[in-house]
Amino acid sequence: MADDRINLIVIFGGQSAEHDVSCVTATHVLRAVDQTRYRITPVGIDREGQWHLATAAVAALAKGAEALPDRLEAAGDNLSPTPMLTDALRNGPVVVMPLLHGPLGEDGTVQGLLELMDVPFVGSGVLGSAVSMDKAIAKEVLAHHQIPQARWISLREHEVNPVRLAEIAHTLGLPVFVKPSNMGSSVGVTKATTIDELIASVDHALGYDEWIVIEEAINGREIEVAVLGNLETRASVPGEIVPGNEFYDYEDKYIADGAQLIIPAALTADQTGTVRALALQVFAALRCEGLARVDFFFEENGRGFLINEVNTMPGFTPISMYPKMWQSTGLTYPALVDALIELAIDRHRRRRRNTKH
């Protein structure tokens, strides 16, 4: 009997500081995938960039999804990505789900490889991934579209000096947040309340990227919206994060679990409609496709909703907002995974019409 299942290649791990988050995300996605519809190949990228067939995950899946560990390991038999993808394409339809967070995964690099290999993949393409990942460029695009955001200044490493930082502190006021431009999950983000702290925060952020963003500190609520779709998009009910720490940092997101996640957020009907519409506008402006989580600050008695950032491959851990917001909107975790795979196939089919003559 022919096996007509789709070959689903799930890539996780990667070389960024968000490696561990990706390994946890992959476990929960694999647990949700219907193995009667998909033939799963878990592929881990270790911290040195070597690709592996995740043999422990393969063995666990053979016993059933419940046998999967809480965190996958990016280890196993070595793979070369191009021959691996070529072989997969010979054995029926293929979709790749790159569950990679941060640089060298969520930033258009892996997406470019998959485009060259002519393989459908979940999420945004090269442009949408790269623009959304780079906070400085994303802010410039969103400013062009007149989408409200906090005041900010971006700097490259060679532009940093005490005089320039003093000027920025005067322009934006203190406190400020300092962020690596290309990083997610609040990695490398710190709050500076003095000039000395600003200098230290900038030095810390430059350990992750040569471009940094310095933003005014917003005294507002943290509101998030999940977006799903390609040409036709839909927004989830908004959720609110009440940080357990001073701000919603990496520890709060993935380790301490101290934040309160409120879904749906306590907003009026008009406020809910406004933030959902803004999320769709941001998604379109940044050329996102498939999925994204759009994060806002909400100044209730000030400027209203201010775009913070966009994640084109948000976390899918048990405490992650993206799947939780869709569940609250009426889309179960397994149905969400199915929808993402269908969107990948749809996007690939549409893109091939424009690139093959």
pLDDT 10s per residue in the chain (357 long)? 567 889 999 999 999 888 998 999 999 999 999 999 999 999 999 999 999 999 999 999 988 888 898 889 998 899 999 999 999 888 889 999 999 998 899 999 999 999 999 999 999 999 999 999 999 999 999 999 999 999 999 999 999 999 999 999 999 999 999 999 987 657 789 999 999 999 999 999 999 999 999 999 999 999 999 999 999 999 999 999 998 666 555 555 545 456 789 999 999 999 999 999 999 999 999 999 999 999 999 999 899 999 999 999 998 887 789 999 999 999 999 999 999 999 999 999 998 876 654
Indicate which residue of 132, 154, 185, 320 is catalytic: 185
Specify whether 197 is catalytic: no
- What is residue 209's three-state secondary structure? coil
Specify whether 87 is catalytic: no
- Which domains does the chain carry? 6-121 (3.40.50.20), 132-148+219-334 (3.30.470.20), 152-216 (3.30.1490.20)
Specify whether 185 is catalytic: yes
Indicate which residue of 224, 315, 320, 347 is catalytic: 315
DSSP-derived letter for residue 185 is T
Q: CB count, 10 Å around CB of 295? A: 21
Specify whether 315 is catalytic: yes
Residues 6+ apart with CB under 8 A from 152: 139, 172, 213, 214, 215, 216
Cα 351 from Cα 357, distance rounded (Å): 12
Indicate which residue of 16, 18, 154, 216 is catalytic: 18
Specify whether 295 is catalytic: yes
Looking at residue 7, its pLDDT comes to 95
Question: Strands of 77-79's sheet, edge to edge?
Answer: 77-79, 51-53, 38-45, 6-13, 94-98
Cα 235 from Cα 283, distance rounded (Å): 10
Amino acid at residue number 290: G
Residues 6+ apart with CB under 8 A from 256: 244, 245
Specify whether 18 is catalytic: yes
Specify whether 311 is catalytic: yes
Specify whether 157 is catalytic: no
